[in-house]
């Protein structure tokens, strides 16, 4: 015969297991909600990625137009699919990079009327690793060394690598070729922000000069072009936008991608 205390203890033992399942289910539900509303789906459908393993993507724009905001949307989309993201930022401290994520996530959550965004945010964080370098001491091999450390010790195994702030004004071909090899080896997709300059003519193939030397290494390139008060999302290569979302823009208040016609 069980005493009331035993019954209570038994109840206590049962309760958490049921709760964990419920909590996980709830978080999964929130994730699905957000994935359905994710603006990145305009670029790559409902899948997490626009890129395949080992592929490179570039987001080109002038300073201050929204490259990092778009990158963070791509990263969050990957995190929602439980795919690990390493965000390498040059010259921005960890806190500032984290702030970008909080901001963009906040906008996404509000846009999708997500209840309890904090719970979902907490569950996304383990899928993100921010690594920052000072630009003056940075080199692609140095970054590779750090990444290898993480991957080989199984501290953090990324599926998506974001490199934000690398200067494409310098010759990068050799380093990027090495990185491409590295990305294939570890089945990673890599996105870069590429800063262009206001008064520069495009290269011979019509793409900005910064990309033209290494264009063959990039499977996808997207350019953000400010036109009046809008920022147009223009595909330079590797993507065909579905007819119903042919005109994408960045919302100037939230910097989220949206369909202009919507």
Partner 1 sequence: MKKDIRNVRNIGISAHIDSGKTTLTERILFYTKRIHAMHDVKGKDGVGAFMDSMELERERGITIASAATFCEWNGHEINIIDTPGHVDFTIEVERSLRVLDGAILVLCSVGGVQSQSITVDQQMRRYQVPCIAFINKCDRSGANPFRVIDQLKDKLGHNAVALQIPIGLEADFSGVVDLLRMKAVYFDGDKGESLRLEEIPEALRELAQAKREQMLDAASMFSDELMETILDEKDVAADLVIAALRKGTLARQLTPVLMGSAYKNKGVQLLLNAVNDLLPCPDDIENKALDMDKDEAPVRLTSDPSAPLVALAFKLEDRTYGQLTYLRVYQGSLSKGDTLINVRTAKKIKVGRVVRMHSDQMEEIESIPAGYIGALFGIDCASGDTFVAPGLSLTMTSMYVPKPVISLMISPKDHKSEINISKALNRFTKEDPTFKTHVNPETGETIISGMGELHLEVYLERMQREYAAEVTAGAPRVAYRETITQQAEFDYTHKKQTGGAGQYARIAGRLEPLPDQDFEFDNQVVGGSIPTQFIPACEKGFRKCLAKGPKMEFPVTGVKVVIDDGASHSVDSSDMAFQAAARGAFQQGYFKAKPVVQEPIMKVVVETPTAFQGPVMGSLNQRRGMIVGAQDEGALCVIESQVPLAEMFGYSTVLRSLTQGQAQFTMEFLAYKQVPQSIAEELEKKAAEQKKKVA
Q: Which segment (20-28, 42-50, 237-245, 248-256) binds partner 1 by CB under 8 A? A: 20-28
Binding to partner 1 (CB under 8 A): which residues in 170-189? none
Determine the size of the site formed for partner 1 (CB under 8 A): 36
Near partner 1 by CB under 8 A: residue from 132, 175, 196, 210 = 132
Distance (Å, whole) CA 190 – CA 183: 7
CB of 181 to partner 1, least distance (A): 21
Beta bridge partner(s), residue 192: 58, 163
Q: Do residues 189 and 53 lie in contact, with contact meaning Cβ atoms separated by under 8 Å?
A: yes
Number of H helices and E strands in the chain, helices first, is 8, 9
- Classify residue 225 by burial, with Cβ atoms within 10 Å: 0-12, 13-18, 19+: middle
Q: Do residues 115 and 189 lie in contact, with contact meaning Cβ atoms separated by under 8 Å?
A: no
**Binding status of residue 228 toward partner 1 by CB under 8 A:** no
Near partner 1 by CB under 8 A: residue from 1, 2, 3, 11 = 11
**Binding status of residue 149 toward partner 1 by CB under 8 A:** yes
Distance (Å, whole) CA 187 – CA 190: 10
- Of 96 and 110, the one with the shorter C-beta distance to partner 1 is 96
CB of 184 to partner 1, least distance (A): 23
**Binding status of residue 198 toward partner 1 by CB under 8 A:** no
């Amino acid at each position: 015969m069980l005493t009331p205390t035993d019954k209570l203890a038994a109840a206590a033992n049962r309760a958490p297991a049921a709760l964990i399942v419920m909590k996980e289910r709830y978080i999964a539900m929130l994730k699905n909600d957000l994935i359905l509303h994710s603006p990145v789906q305009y670029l790559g459908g409902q899948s997490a990625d626009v890129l395949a393993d080992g592929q490179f993507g570039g987001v080109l724009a002038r300073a201050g137009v929204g490259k990092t905001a778009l990158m963070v949307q791509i990263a969050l989309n990957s995190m929602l699919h439980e795919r690990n993201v390493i965000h390498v930022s040059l010259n921005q401290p960890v806190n500032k990079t984290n702030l970008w994520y909080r901001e963009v996530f906040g906008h996404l959550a509000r846009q999708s009327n997500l209840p309890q965004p904090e719970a979902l945010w907490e569950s996304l964080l383990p899928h993100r690793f921010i690594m920052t370098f000072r630009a003056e001491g940075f080199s692609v091999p140095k970054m590779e060394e750090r990444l290898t450390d993480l991957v080989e010790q199984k501290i953090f195994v990324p599926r998506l690598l974001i490199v934000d702030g690398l200067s494409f004004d310098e010759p990068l071909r050799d380093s990027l070729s090495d990185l491409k090899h590295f990305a294939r080896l570890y089945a990673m997709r890599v996105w870069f922000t590429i800063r262009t300059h206001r008064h520069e003519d495009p290269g011979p193939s019509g793409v900005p000069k910064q990309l033209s030397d290494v264009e063959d290494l990039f499977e996808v390139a997207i350019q953000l072009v400010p036109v009046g008060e809008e920022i147009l999302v223009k595909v330079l290569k590797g993507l065909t936008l579905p007819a119903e979302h042919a005109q994408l823009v960045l919302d100037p208040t939230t910097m989220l991608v949206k369909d202009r016609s919507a």
